[in-house]
Structure 1
């Protein structure tokens, strides 16, 4: 989601996450969720690497094929629809050059 620049004296520190475990959960309105998904889709169209960003973090991820889509619907009681995108990291197929 685009961030509005602020006029602060100090630049905020952005942590680039490349290993370990990271999880973040957001509750947003449908319009913001749609904008996020459109921007994510454009990254899928452009390249085989995406970058997700938050207020103080960024997560670059080079993915491989196939991309797994999991759609789950539960209609009993309180209806719920879950859409999950699962990406596996890209694995280089080329063997290293030995000299």
Structure 2
């Protein structure tokens, strides 16, 4: 499970498990925290077809299929920026129909 670091002042609570709907949350981490997050995420991607992201407040389990889409975007003028995005498609639980 990939734990996203949080503010130390957060009160422990039961986690909401996110399995449907739309969810988005943005985090600002130190480079060390971001590196550790990416290592944990990479290990889950490498080792299976299910990953779980979580904080003290929520947990998001996700089964995925290949391929994994990786997008790299670089803006080299003005406020320079590098954006790296992963896109995972949800796993299909139903087997393909037999057409023979």
Settle same-fold status: TM greater than 0.5: yes
State which structure, 1 or 2, has the greater radius of gyration over its C-alpha atoms. Answer: 1
Unaligned runs of 5+ in 2: 6-11
Conservation of the 8 A alpha-carbon contact between 2:68 and 2:89:
yes
The structure whose RCO (Cα within 8 Å, separation 6+) is larger is 2
**1:74, 1:64 → 2: CA distance?**
30
The residue aligned with 2:25 is 24
Show the 5 A alignment for 1:34-49.
34-49=35-50
Matched residues in 2 for 1:47 and 1:64: separation?
10
Change (3 A) 1:86 1:2: closer
Q: Is there any run of 5+ residues in structure 1 with no aligned partner, and where? A: 4-10
- Is this contact kept in 1: 2:18–2:58, CA < 8 A? yes
C-alpha displacement at 1:92, in angstroms? 3.2
Distance apart, 1:91 and its partner CA: 1.1
Q: CA RMSD in A?
A: 2.1
Give the secondary structure class of the aligned counterpart of 2:89. coil
**TM-score with structure 1 setting the length:** 0.82
Task: Tell me the number of residue pairs that the alignment of Structure 1 and Structure 2 aligns.
Answer: 90
**Distance 1:73-1:15 versus aligned 2 partners, 3 A rule:** same
Inter-partner Cα distance in structure 1 for 2:80 and 2:38:
22
